[in-house]
Amino acid sequence: MGGTGVGKSSLLNRLAGKAIAKTGVERPTSHEVTLYHHQRVVIPHLPEQLPVASVNTARHDDDGKQHIIWLDMPDFDSTEQHNKQLVLQWLPHIDVLIYVVSPERYRDEKAWRLLLAEGGRHAWLFVLNQWDRGDVAQLQDFKRQLGQAGFDDPVIFKTSCTDIAQADEFTELERMILSLAESHNIQQLQQSNLQARKNALKQVLQAQALELGAQQHAQALSSLWQSQWQTTAKLLAQGFNWPIQQLADYYARHAADLVGNPATSTQPVKAEIWDDWANARFNDGLDEFILAAGQLGIPALPIKHQLQPLRNKAANIMRTQTGLAARQALAMPGNWLQRGALKLLRIGEIILPLASIGWASYQVLTGYYQSSRQGVEAHYLGVDFAIHSTLLIALSWLLPFFMLKKLQPSIKNTALKGLQRGLTQGLAQIDAEVEQGLRNIREQHQQQLYLLAELASFCDAREPLPEVAEHSALKRVLLSHKK
């Protein structure tokens, strides 16, 4: 890996002993990855995401190098975004990175940032190529910079690929790569790569946990909703005053149908309490609550999803509750005392006129019988009797009739009372459903935090690493962890 023109492809060609990768003065030269490996090596399962179409493969039959697969990558710093993309796609599959630089360009910003970010995931070898044009001061400066990046004693090879006659450290580079390919080193490299990835994963998990918000804030959602609901419910109740009157009127007009005839009572009521205005106020209330929850650091989206169905359901809840309560009220108007008195009066309304008619008839009969026995020709019942008995019958009917009228609570008032009770019940049900949604959110939140903590603790568990000797080559190619 390295900047364009530093001589990466030239190095691979030298390793191979033949021109397997294109080199040149054109910048950048390589636009593809060149793989170089033993002919017995089959790469059966390349990860799917690898762009194998941009791979150029060359094989050799040198058994001494059969455990190594070399990759010559395109540059990382030119304007060719495709090249950079290729490098990034291959990087996770690479154990040993050979970072190639030239004397003029040993510090290129993009590759350097990559080195800092990827440091712990690979073993690093450094090659200062074009050494035929370099000097010791540049080498020292490069070394110093690597020290700042965390390599206390970096392994740097000075090579010169154009002028083979010149003595350089190419053979040492080759030997180093071969020694790193020994199995215990590979194992060590893989372990430290795994640990680096676990550390990175742990950081992601911790960032994710922060994003989820604190547990006590999730617990506070319910009281946050209650303070919002107080305002919204009050506003809604005020707004319902007018439609509730209209609905009561409607019920008064259709009371007989609604209560007496169950078939018509299931027909939808024309007048609606939960109109567009109420729906807009309720949605405003929910939105304000979600916003406030977001300000507490709880992600808004899950709450939004959890409460979404309620936005459409609220009208239905209200319609059902008010309809039911109004019908119940109309079916059983007044309190139990009123209902008892009404029942008595209804009986009286029949019994009293019947009794007075019965009494008058009895008087007529006995009067007629007696007058016929006495043989008196005179009229046997006077005008007085006629007036009195008519009055009695009329009064015995009118009295319970008027009392009944007076006592019977007006249907509109009854409906109104029922509607008000339904309204309270409806609002309580909406509140309860929001609370249930928030309980679900709290549970999910708790579960997710728990899961993140558990995963993070898996990342902490370290596999026992084989000891790396203090001044060994392996120690030098791994980024020191104290950085």
Ligand X SMILES: Nc1nc2c(ncn2[C@@H]2O[C@H](COP(=O)(O)OP(=O)(O)OP(=O)(O)O)[C@@H](O)[C@H]2O)c(=O)[nH]1
Radius of gyration of the chain (CA): 48
Nearer to Mg ion, 29 or 356 (CB): 29
CB of 21 within 8 A of CB of 27?
no
Q: Does 29 bind ligand X (CB under 6 A)?
A: yes
CB of 466 to ligand X, least distance (A): 35
463 φψ region: left (φ > 0), alpha (ψ -120 to 50), beta (else) = beta
* Cβ at position 189, least distance to ligand X in Å: 24
Q: Is 220 helix (H, G, I), strand (E, B) or coil?
A: coil
First to last CA, the chain: 23
Element (H, E) at 302: helix 300-331
The residue (of 30 and 228) whose beta carbon lies closer to ligand X is 30
Q: Which of 24, 262, 340, 358 binds ligand X (CB under 6 A)?
A: 24
Nearer to ligand X, 26 or 470 (CB): 26
Are 69 and 35 contacting, i.e. CB atoms less than 8 angstroms apart?
A: yes
**Are the C-beta atoms of 246 and 273 separated by less than 8 Å?**
no
Instruction: By CB under 6 A, name the one of 7, 120, 285, 437 that touches ligand X.
Output: 7
User: Nearest approach, Cβ of 170 to ligand X (angstroms)?
Assistant: 10
Mapped onto helix, strand or coil, the DSSP state of residue 456 is: helix
| Of 434, 456, 453, 455, nearest in space to 445 by CA | 453
396 binds, among ligand X, Mg ion, none (CB under 5 to 8 A by kind): none
**Token duo for residue 359:** 């009494």
Closest to 33 measured CA to CA, from 14, 8, 15, 16: 8
Q: How far is the CB of 83 from ligand X (least distance, A)?
A: 8
Identity of the residue, 29 or 322, whose beta carbon is nearer to Mg ion in the bound complex: 29
Determine which helix (DSSP H) or strand (DSSP E) holds 11, and give its type and residue range: helix 8-16
CA-closest candidate to residue 395, choices 446, 360, 431: 360
Among 34, 160, 228, 356, binds ligand X (CB under 6 A): 160
Which of 3, 7, 9, 131 touches Mg ion by CB under 5 A? 9
Q: Name 407's Cβ contacts closer than 8 Å, sequence gap at least 6.
A: 334, 338, 341, 342, 345
d(Cα 223, Cα 116) in Å, to the nearest integer?
A: 46
Among 8, 84, 417, 445, binds ligand X (CB under 6 A): 8
| Shortest Å, Cβ 147 to ligand X | 25
Query: Of 86 and 218, which has the nearer Cβ to Mg ion?
Result: 86
- Would you give the binding string for ligand X spanning residues 67-106, x where CB under 6 A is met? -------xx-------------------------------
- What phi and psi, each to the nearest 5 degrees, are found at residue 29? -90, -55
Among ligand X, Mg ion, none, residue 297 binds (CB under 5-8 Å by kind): none
Q: Does 130 bind ligand X (CB under 6 A)?
A: yes
Distance in Å, CB of 86 to ligand X, minimum: 11
- Tell me if 30 contacts Mg ion by CB under 5 A: yes
In whole angstroms, give the CA distance from residue 415 to residue 245: 9
Decide: is 4 part of the binding site for Mg ion (CB under 5 A).
no
Query: What's at 105, amino acid-wise?
Result: R
- The nearer residue to ligand X, 27 or 346, going by C-beta atoms, is 27
Q: Please identify, using beta-carbon distances, which residue of 83 and 188 lies nearer to ligand X.
A: 83
Instruction: Confirm or reject binding of residue 4 to ligand X (CB under 6 A).
Output: yes
30 binds ligand X (CB under 6 A): yes
- Select 80 or 431, whichever has its Cβ closest to Mg ion: 80
In angstroms, the CA 288 to CA 229 distance is 10
Smallest gap from residue 93 Cβ to Mg ion (A): 19
- Which residues of the chain form contacts with Mg ion (CB under 5 A)? 8-9, 29-30
Query: Where on the chain is the footprint of ligand X (CB under 6 A)?
Result: 4-10, 23-25, 27-30, 74-75, 129-130, 132-133, 160-162
